[in-house]
Structure 1
Amino acid sequence: MTATRILIIEDDQSLSDILVYNFRQAGYDVLCARDGAEGLDLARKRNPELILLDLMLPTMDGLEICRRLRQDSVTRDVMVVMLTAKAEEVDQVVGFAIGADDYVTKPFSVKVLLERVKALIRRRSTNSTKSEVIVNQGIMLDRRRHIAMAGDEQLELTPNEFNLLDTLIRQPGRAFTRGDLIDSALGDDAIVLERTIDVHVRALRKKLGGYAELIETVRGVGYRFRDNH
């Protein structure tokens, strides 16, 4: 069985060495980069399944790296876990809005980080077993190819936005609480703020354009995909 490949983009040599050692001991195929340019190059050429991304890097910060990963057709589906000393709520919201899958604040337990990475990979594997293509009211999702269409336009969605839309569209008319959406779309192992769902919904509606009204706000509850029956 081929080992899961992860890429660590971290300029702190001592922390990088600790992460490389522990993830290799856990059976991962580990790549390492010291700055954003090297990290982006490795991400394109070596196709990691997941990236551990330090937020504070020289020359190019982690937010910009994440943004570029999501804009590149080669790397847009890679899972990204941000590592940062910034613990403020607003920093986490910005990170998730740009496309991070998880956000871990330094200092952290390597054991806990390993478990969170394992949970993300497990969630991706579980999602891949769902029906591959679903169409509803002009919206088409293809899970295998990670393609979303609104009418004739292909949407550029982050993995979390894609999972959120997938969760909603599969049960039209059902009102999901923000907690439901964290569990179903982001995974019950995800440690995120409920308001992060609002950020994802706002970004998703913007990308849906004329189809944005299909995602309805249920006052006092959360969100639902409009049922046309």
Structure 2
Amino acid sequence: MSRILVVEDEERIAAFVAKGLRAAGMQPTTVRTGADALEIVRSGEVDLVVLDLGLPDTDGFAVLRRMRETGSATPVIILTARTSVEDTVAGLEGGADDYMPKPFRFEELLARIRRRLSTPSGPGETTTLEHGSVSLDLRTRRAGVGGREVELSAREFALAEAFLRHPGQVLSREQLLSRVWGYDFDPGSNVVDVYVRYLRNKLGTEVIATVRGMGYRLDG
């Protein structure tokens, strides 16, 4: 199971990312300060770091610099509201493996984390999801229905993944928005209904049931 350190002082964002990582079969740890982050990284118990730059005790660039000075090769993805070219270049030249601006969508962050993880999956990390005739390979990002490969967009795949991780469970539009589109997405949007319709067209109309007034459920 991949161990991800989330260094983020905004509690809402940290909780959102940690929840999504747990659902993806990973083991997140969240800290608010650079000092705590460096202590955990020194322990060697981390496979990847998601690092904010605006920390209460220091700048994220200083944390990154200290990691690299002490010989840590742990992959680092900077997740920050600083979007200038200068900051992006400084982060990448300072040893970051990726640089992602806020606001962000979780499935994109997850895709970047998976791409940066160089170690094989542990026995506890799920790489294939199956329910009824539908299957998803999380490594190759391929989907299948009844043995037939189906082409899904990145967003459709993320939505299908959310359903396959909770088969038979009713998921509200708000839950799906948070998981697939990100914590900052407009809760009044009908984008969930639109993409459920896309999925039904590709996976089969009987696969996803509408539960009136509650949300959607993945059936057999």
Give the TM-score normalised by structure 1. Answer: 0.51
Which residue is equivalent to 2:96?
A: 100
Separation in structure 1 between the aligned mates of residue 35 and residue 73 of structure 2, nearest angstrom = 19
Matching of residues 209-224 of structure 1 within 5 Å: none
Deviations 1:166-204 (CA, angstroms, capped at 9, x unpaired): xxxxxxxxxxxxxxxxxxxxxxxxxxxxxxxxxxxxxxx
Q: Which residue of 1 aligns with 2:32?
A: 34
More helix by share: 1
Cα deviation code 1:111-157 (max 9, x no counterpart): 11001111111xx359xxxxxxxxxxxxxxxxxxxxxxxxxxxxxxx
Matching residue's letter, 1:32: T
Residue 88 of structure 1: aligned partner: 84
Q: Quote the offset at 1:47 in angstroms.
A: 2.2
Residue type at the aligned position of 1:35: T
* CA distance in 1 between partners of 2:10 and 2:105 (Å): 16
Aligned residue pair count: 120
Q: SS at the partner of 1:51?
A: strand
Which stretch shows the higher mean deviation, 41-50 or 52-61?
A: 41-50
Segments of structure 1 that go 5 or more residues without pairing to the other structure are 127-229
Quote the residue 1:208 is aligned against: none
1:63-106 Cα distance to aligned partner (Å, 9 max, x none): 00000010113xx1100000111111111000011100000000
2:59 corresponds to: 61
* Distance in 2 (alpha carbons) for counterparts of 1:91 and 1:45: 28
Q: Secondary structure at the match of 2:103?
A: coil
- Structure 2 CA distance for aligned equivalents of residues 110 and 60 of structure 1: 25
Distance 2:82 2:31 in 1: 21
Question: Which has the higher relative contact order, 1 or 2, with Cα contacts under 8 A spaced 6 or more apart?
Answer: 2
What SS is found at the alignment partner of 1:113? helix
Report the counterpart of residue 109 of structure 2 in structure 1. Answer: 113
Shift of 1:46: 4.6
For residue 46 of structure 2, give the secondary structure of its aligned residue in structure 1: coil
Q: Deviation at 1:38? A: 0.7
Question: What displacement does 1:39 show?
Answer: 0.8
Write the distance in 2 (CA, Å) between the matches of 1:65 and 1:125.
Answer: 23
Q: Which amino acid aligns with 1:78?
A: T
1:37 is aligned with what amino acid? A
Partner of 1:4: 2
The root-mean-square deviation of aligned C-alpha atoms, in Å, is 1.3
Within 2, Cα distance between the matches of 1:125 and 1:20?
20
Corresponding residue number in structure 2 for 1:165: none
Aligned AA for 2:74?
A: V
Larger radius of gyration: 2
In 1, the alpha carbon distance for the partners of 2:101 and 2:68 equals 22
Give how far 1:32 is off: 1.2
Give distance in 1, aligned partners of 2:19 and 2:48. 16
Gaps of 5+ in 2: 121-220
